[in-house]
Amino acid sequence: MGMIKKGLLFVFSIYALITFIIVMLLVFPFAMLAATAGKIRGGNLVYRCCRVWAQLWYYTIGVVHDEIYEHPHDTSRQYIFVANHISYMDIPPIVLAIHQPIRALGKYEMIKVPVFGWIYKAAVILVNRQNATKRAQSVRALKAAIKNNISIIIFPEGTFNETRQPLKSFFDGAFRIAIETQTPIKPLLLVDTLKRLHYRSVFEMTPGQNRVVYLEEVPVKGLTMADLPALKDRVYKIMEAGLKRYNSYPTP
């Protein structure tokens, strides 16, 4: 990468960071007010505030949101959404692409970020994977959301995929909850977030298209825990094939 290109990326990334903070500060009072409406209604309102934040921020930095539906999607039904995870830019497209009540499973460490962390805490179900008790609490919270007719989204890889493969191996959590609650799985692909912001540096942000791809629904009706490995493998293969079609993963 030439020095001029590096310099332009750095300047644009600083601009994007500044606008991120400004838009977040504008939305923050409304999100905090929305949170006072309670866990269910308030949480739904916080997500609407997050959508406004993402739309405004995209507009200021020249990122274009686009949704591709390879299969029909019914927003009146509940799902456990699963998506690949490869960039800090994975959050805005998820907020924009899911047009129904939703709760995300998010890393506990993110609440330490000033302002953003406060909104993050109000919008997601936090998980601390280092603490078994906290992990169990997170699972109960996710199941409670489903009981209240709210879909959930989980990154089954757990952390960024920094390999040269389309996906890292999946954790069991999303698939276990799907079977226990008999909630179908809806895989999503984030196919441009690595181009918009590479995981190696926060100073490599670029404008451009940021697509979210809806893949085929994976039903779980009648499945038991004995079917968990096969279910996880099926979803993995569907998402892996999709990422290969869009050539959306790091290559040597």
In the prediction, which pLDDT does 251 show?
63
CA distance 192 to 42: 31
Of the candidates 173, 204, 187, the one whose C-alpha atom is nearest the C-alpha of residue 85 is 187
- Domain residues of the chain, as ranges? 64-245
The answer to which of 64-78, 131-145, 148-162 has the lowest mean pLDDT is: 131-145
The architecture of the domain spanning 64-245 is 3-Layer(aba) Sandwich (3.40)
pLDDT tens-digit series, residues 228-238: 999 999 999 99
pLDDT tens-digit series, residues 106-119: 877 777 777 777 77
Of the candidates 189, 168, 170, 186, the one whose C-alpha atom is nearest the C-alpha of residue 230 is 170
pTM to 2 decimals? Answer: 0.92
CA distance 172 to 229: 8
Indicate the angle between helix axes 3-35 and 116-123, nearest 10 degrees: 60
In the prediction, which pLDDT does 243 show?
96
Question: Residue 184 above 60 pLDDT?
Answer: yes
CA distance 214 to 196: 19
Radius of gyration of the chain (CA): 18
Per-residue pLDDT averaged across 1-20, rounded?
88
Secondary structure (DSSP) of the chain: --HHHHHHHHHHHHHHHHHHHHHHHHHHHHHHHHHTT-TTHHHHHHHHHHHHHHHHHHHHHTEEEEEEESS---TTS--EEEE----GGGHHHHHHH--S-EEEEEEGGGGGSTTHHHHHHHHEEEE-TT-HHHHHHHHHHHHHHHHTT-EEEE-TT-S---SSSS-PPPPSHHHHHHHHHT--EEEEEE-SHHHHB-TT-TT-B--EEEEEEE---B--TT--GGGHHHHHHHHHHHHHHHHHHTT-S---
pLDDT tens-digit series, residues 147-170: 999 999 999 998 889 888 999 999
